[in-house]
Amino acid sequence: MVQYSSGRLDVSFAALSDATRRGVLERLGRADASITDLADTFHMTLTGMKKHVGVLEHAGFVTTEKVGRVRTCKLGPRRLDEETAWIERYRELWASRLDELDKIVEELKQKEIVNGRKKRD
């Protein structure tokens, strides 16, 4: 069951597992940027940022184009939808489960308050 497209998902998740790289995607979602812009925004060296962009590019989240001496980055053809849909299923289960738990917890809390009052009376 694992094989479907898990290799591809691995690359995606590895690419998205880093806060800076997620930040870069968010930034590129607003506007294209050069590596220098991105390095400045995230207070990194050019080399460090090149590495991050390389990982995102490999995963298909970003494409880059060199014009003259400037390498411009933009969001790639790959979107986050697949990954989001996948993790969203997991979130839905936990969200509805924990909503139910919340009700029980409230109920227990109320019971405790009532019992506490009874004891005092």
Taking the complex as a whole, the smallest distance from the CB of residue 91 to another protein amounts, in Å, to: 4
Segment interacting with another protein, rule: CB under 8 A, options 4-12, 30-38, 43-51, 66-74: 4-12
Burial 55-92 (b: 16+ CB within 10 A, else e): bbbebebbbbeeeeeebebebbebeeeebeeeeeeeee
Binds another protein (CB under 8 A): choice among 43, 103, 117, 120: 103
Among 17, 36, 114, 115, which residue interacts with another protein (rule: CB under 8 A)?
17
> Which residues in the 26-85 window bind another protein by CB under 8 A?
60, 77, 82, 85
Cβ closer to another protein: 4 or 47?
4
CB of 57 to another protein, least distance (A): 15
CB under 8 Å to 70, separation ≥6 — which residues? 34, 36
Contacts with another protein by CB under 8 A: the residue count is: 37
Give the C-alpha separation, 101 to 68, whole Å.
Answer: 58
d(CA 4, CA 7): 8
